[in-house]
Amino acid sequence: MPKNSKKLRILIADDHTLLRHGIRGLLGAQRGWKIVGEAANGEEAVAKARKLKPDLAILDIGMPNLDGLEATRQIREASPHIKILILTMHESDQMVRRVLEAGARGFVLKSDLPAQLVKAVRSVAQGKIFLTPRVSEIVLDGFLKAGQKPQRGDRSRTSPTPREVEIIRLLAQAKGNKEIAAELGIAVRTVETHRAKVMLKLGLHSLAELIHYAIRNEIILQNGRPA
């Protein structure tokens, strides 16, 4: 990272002191990253996010006073630029859905720490959605158990809504969230929510997979233009 590059400012919120200190030590050692604060509960996390204005907040989902999901909603409402990464011990596809719907950009199981945390922070900081391999397996298992396994070209159970088709088309044209929001006349946060939900709904894990889906289902042509 160049010397003049802005440091990634991180807030850590977890009610377990030892875990917070462990995360601080791990992430604080990364070049160009700075831990700007810690919180022991959800209310404190929201207050410190508003005061310190970090680039990224790492929140435990099971904090007292205010859980991580509600803290995520409040932080995103007050400061849409703050990216949220959720830590949890709960393994279920429903939980992953709730986390993404709340506005978080990443989901890491505490059992995956510390192996996946640095990778998760880096991905979320770059504006990507991050699910660990284990979480991706959980989501896929949820689709299978519900009889909703995504199929190539399937327009039935996993068929996107008209709004989701618009989002897919614009994402497949490599447009950013702000560009999409401006074109559709909606908030950036709304675009982020649609993007997370459609990726999860269709079982897609990367922009490349989304582009292939868009071409396969004739949402865009091979040259990236609208079909």
Q: What is the CATH number of the domain that holds 212?
A: 1.10.10.10
Evaluated on CA atoms 30, 34, 40, 41, the torsion sign reads negative
Domain C-terminal end among 120, 142, 164: 142
**What does the alpha-carbon distance between residue 170 and residue 167 come to, in Å, rounded to a whole number?**
5
Is there a single domain that holds both residue 172 and residue 205? Answer: yes
Q: What DSSP character marks residue 112?
A: G
**Would you state the pLDDT for residue 155?**
42
Q: Which residues contact 224 (CB under 8 A, 6 or more apart)?
A: 172, 173, 174, 211
Last residue of a domain, one of 87, 120, 142: 142
Q: Which of 107, 126, 142 is the last residue of a domain?
A: 142
25 & 114 share domain: yes
How many other β-carbons are positioned within 10 Å of the β-carbon of residue 220? 20
Tokens at 45, concatenated: 């996390």
The CATH number covering residue 135 comes to: 3.40.50.2300
What are 117-159's pLDDT values in tens digits?
999 999 999 888 888 877 777 766 665 565 444 444 444 446 8
Same structural domain for residues 156 and 138? no
- Do the beta carbons of residue 132 and residue 139 sit within 8 Å? no
> How many domains does the chain contain in total?
2
Q: Same domain for 135 and 185?
A: no
> Domain range holding 107?
8-142
Tokens 């042509």, residue located? 221
State in Å, rounded, how far the first CA of the chain is from the last one. 41
Distance between CA atoms of residues 15 and 180, nearest Å: 37
Instruction: Please indicate, yes or no, whether residues 74 and 176 belong to a single structural domain of this protein.
Output: no
**One domain, residues 26 and 107:** yes
Tokens matching residue 163: 């709004």
Q: Is the CB of residue 135 less than 8 Å from the CB of residue 87? A: no
Q: Indicate whether 102 belongs to any domain.
A: yes
Q: What are phi and psi of 83, to 5 degrees?
A: -90, 140
Contact 81, 189 (CB under 8 A): no
Q: Which residue has the tokens 């995956």?
A: 112
Q: How high does pLDDT run on average in the chain?
A: 84
- 158 shares its domain with 137: no
At 149 the pLDDT is: 45
Mean pLDDT within 37-46: 97
Asked if 161 and 133 sit in the same domain, the reply is no
52 and 158 housed in the same domain: no
Express each pLDDT in 165-206 by its tens digit: 999 888 887 677 888 999 999 998 888 888 888 888 888 877
